[in-house]
Amino acid sequence: MPGGINPKQMKAMMKKMGMEVAPIENVASIVITTSDGRYIFGEADVVAMTMQGVTTFQISGGEPRFEPAVPEIPDEDVSLVADQAGVPPDAARAALEEAGGDIASAILALADRG
């Protein structure tokens, strides 16, 4: 323990300061979702710390894997790309997904293929 304080003393000091620490048991995975994608942590240790009415969660474990967000493609965009590139809607949707939802890039990619 840092500073030569034993765990029992540390726990007593934290309690005296109004800090509560509680481990969260049996964590199988943790997913943090952002607008860019999802960070997925496998097995991890999670501790909930509450101080002055605010709870903070600490995650300890290995590196998370990142899954990029798949943009939602509106049907109107699919129709526009299909009409402009002269392709079926499923090909237009695939091109839009590859282009990250960018209509101009999808049309250009389809034009280059055709």
pLDDT of residue 3: 63
Which positions ≥6 away from 51 have C-beta within 8 Å? 17, 18, 19, 20
pLDDT of residue 62: 87
Distance CA 69, CA 37 (A): 4
H/E run at residue 99 = none
- Among 44, 17, 39, residue whose Cα is nearest residue 28: 44
Residue ranges of the chain whose pLDDT lies below 70: 1-3, 114
* Whether this model's pTM surpasses 0.75: no
pLDDT of residue 15: 82
Domain of 38 in residue numbering reads as 2-67
Query: Using alpha carbons only, what angle is made at residue 100 by residues 95 and 104, rounded to the nearest 5 degrees?
Result: 65
29 and 82 part of one domain: no
45 and 81 part of one domain: no
CATH number at residue 85: 1.10.8
17 and 55 part of one domain: yes
